[in-house]
Amino acid sequence: MRIGLTSSFWHDRLVESGLILSLALYYVVGNQHTMIGYLARLNPLLSLPFLLVFTVLCWYRLSFAVALLPLWLPYYLLQKVVVSHYAFSMAEITLWTCIAVATLQLFWGRWSYRLFWSQVREHLGPFTLPIVVFFVMAAVSVIIAYAHNTALRAFREEVLDPLLYLGLVLLCLRRREDVLRLLSALLGSALLVALLGMAQYFFFKNMLVLEDGVRRVHAVYGSANSIGLFFDYILPIGFALLIAAISWRDRVLAAVVCLPLLFVLYLTQSRGAWLANAVGLLFVVAFSLRDRKRLLIGGVAALIVLAVALFFFHDRVIDFVLQSHVSKHGISTVTKRLYLWHTALNMIHDSPWLGYGMDNWLCHYSKNAICGAHTFHYWIVTDPITGKPTGLLDEPTLSHPHNIFLHVWVSIGLFGLLAFMAIIILFYALFAQIMKQLARVEGGEQLRWMAIGIGAAMLTALVQGQVDSAFLEQDLAFCFWTLVAALLILRQLSDVAWQTMLPWKCLRQADLTSSQPPAPVGAEA
């Protein structure tokens, strides 16, 4: 039996390696965006055999290919030309290859993941309605957008593709090993970004971007903050594996992954990401402690230490927050964000119901060459009270209002925002029920650390999302829906019924009570 298990283990690793290597070679061969010397200068047609190998392996192990897709998320800016001048990210190419294989297997009669509509509804449960509303409002925003082509591209990359991936994950991934592979792919993608960031810092310092007076690593992104936002969705999963896992081997592996991520996170100088991941770490610690008394004592002690630190060092804390990342005109990024939020609120005031369209913020925010001429722009160049410059004149191409909720509202309107908020509320309601269920189940430790990591990652992204764009970007949208999908799979693995979530629990109990026959006369209560 042990020989069989060992053989199966190495067989799976071989298939995973083949999937990763074949797609990586397809990506770099003939792709001038990667700037990998000789390989980038080759004829792009030479990369097609590698895509064929990936497709064959995908046919053989579709669930593996679906779970490994997050490995390609960070490279959406370095797209691969597929046909003529049409270029797509590797995440999109992987997604549509998996969808094509799944469709062929479905008509071929080999697809073991076939589900009826009622089963799909059962997978999504109460998430179905807000997801549909969010999708519809995002589609409507394309119609009303000033720049239709820009809105259509953003809709495809940030809404359609991630939601298709959500459905593919729910159809193809059903075992705890599948969820583990999915989370491992997220950790692996972040680790590779960290290694690229370290290489940039140690060997290519001349490539470091000067942002707000500070040279910061950016790896494959255009901004250091993008690394922090990507790590928000992943680093807390590593924290959970490090703290909540029961195997020392898993903890050593988590430490090996987390240390490079923490180092590069420091090099980004992203204060928002630092604070957000600190909150995520506290979340992991709090849910890893089983003893409520110790948790209460630890929480009170932490609050006391925080209060004492703020009392003695409040001036330094204020200077750290307000005076860091100051522009050449002496205006901090915190001050700029206040004016950005005010700008977004002015825009929302004039179009609250439908917003302005996906990725159309720049068309209405400032005078720039990206969206062309526009009759009116909302940016606040000078403070309306003091008359002093706001600093926004120096950055006319800021592409979002630096707040996750304002960003969604400006892009797809009020109903899209309400649907997005409903998804977040349902996410944590389901998380709470899963944690309650796993506390009563023996042998659920692996599912427990996964659930803690997923919940912490979502919270971390939302915390930094209060001061940055943490959702409507291709990699971040995929990460968001990946966490939702992973939690939905954990619901099935932990046997949590939708009826346990209020108000569905009350409705279910009422149905059961009404369906019971009345007690006979004279019977005991």
Q: Where in 120-236 does DSSP place strands (E)?
A: 209-211, 214-216
How far apart are alpha carbons 195 and 260 in whole angstroms? 7
Q: Are residues 80 and 126 in the same domain?
A: no
Query: What whole-number distance in Å separates Cα of residue 275 and Cα of residue 268?
Result: 13
Does 168 share its domain with 265? yes
Rg (CA), the chain: 25
Q: Which structural domain, as residue segments, surrounds residue 77? A: 8-114
Give me the pLDDT at residue 502, please: 56
Q: Are residues 244 and 229 in the same domain?
A: yes
pLDDT beneath 70: ranges in the chain:
1-6, 35, 37, 109-119, 210-214, 290-303, 305-306, 308-332, 372-373, 442-443, 502-525
Q: Is residue 404 part of a domain?
A: yes
Exposure b/e, 379-390, CB count within 10 A at least 16 = b? bbeeeeeeeeeb
Tokens of 167: 């459905």
Where among 75, 91, 114 does a domain terminate?
114
Query: Does 249 reside within a domain?
Result: yes
Whether 340 and 398 have beta carbons less than 8 Å apart is answered as yes
Integer Cα distance of 165 and 157 in angstroms: 11
pTM, rounded to two decimals? 0.89
Instruction: Tell me whether residue 522 is in a domain.
Output: no
Within 10 angstroms of residue 255's Cβ, the number of other Cβ atoms is: 12
Amino acid 386 reads T
Q: How many residues does the chain have?
A: 525
Tokens representing 332 are 């901090």
Q: What is the pLDDT of residue 371?
A: 76
Final residue of a structural domain among 114, 144, 175: 114
pLDDT of residue 306: 63
> Would 524 be classed as within a structural domain?
no
Q: Are residues 397 and 434 in the same domain?
A: yes
Question: Tell me: the pLDDT tens digits for 304-363?
Answer: 766 766 666 655 655 555 556 555 555 667 778 888 999 999 999 999 999 999 999 988
Number of structural domains (the chain) is 2
Whether 55 maps to a domain, the answer reads yes
From residue 43, alpha-carbon distances to 7, 29, 39, 81, 465 in Å are 39, 8, 9, 11, 41
If asked whether residues 152 and 252 sit together in one domain, one would say: yes
Q: Are residues 109 and 127 in the same domain?
A: no
Q: Domain for residue 523, yes or no?
A: no
pLDDT at 525: 28
User: Is 165 found in the same domain as 106?
Assistant: no
**Predicted local confidence at residue 370, as pLDDT:** 75
Q: Based on the fold, state whether residues 374 and 490 are members of the same structural domain.
A: yes
In a domain, 16, yes or no: yes
Tell me: do 299 and 422 sit in the same domain.
Answer: yes
Tell me, yes or no, whether 47 and 133 share the same domain. no
The answer to whether residues 167 and 236 belong to one domain is yes
Q: What residues form DSSP beta bridges with 211?
A: 214
Query: What is the pLDDT at residue 524?
Result: 34
Direct distance between the N- and C-terminal alpha carbons of the chain, in angstroms, rounded to an integer:
55
**pLDDT for position 332:** 65
d(CA 414, CA 354): 7
Question: Of 114, 132, 153, which residue constitutes the final position of a domain?
Answer: 114
Evaluate whether residue 521 is within a structural domain.
no
Q: Are residues 84 and 159 in the same domain?
A: no
Residue for token pair 């039996």: 1
